Amino acid sequence: MRKDRLDSVGFATLIGVAGILAANQIIIKIVDQGLQPVFFAGARSAIAILFVAAWMAYRGLWAGCVGLIWGQGF
Closest CA to 27 of 18, 42, 46, 40: 40
Is residue 64 packed enough to be buried (19+ CB in 10 Å), middle (13-18) or exposed (0-12)? middle
Q: What share of the chain is helix, strand, coil (3-state, %, to 5)?
A: 75, 0, 25
What's this model's pTM, rounded to 2 decimal places? 0.46
pLDDT at 68: 65
pLDDT at 74: 59
pLDDT digits (tens, 9 = 90+) for 24-65: 888 878 777 777 777 777 888 888 888 887 887 788 877 666
- What whole-number distance in Å separates Cα of residue 1 and Cα of residue 56? 28
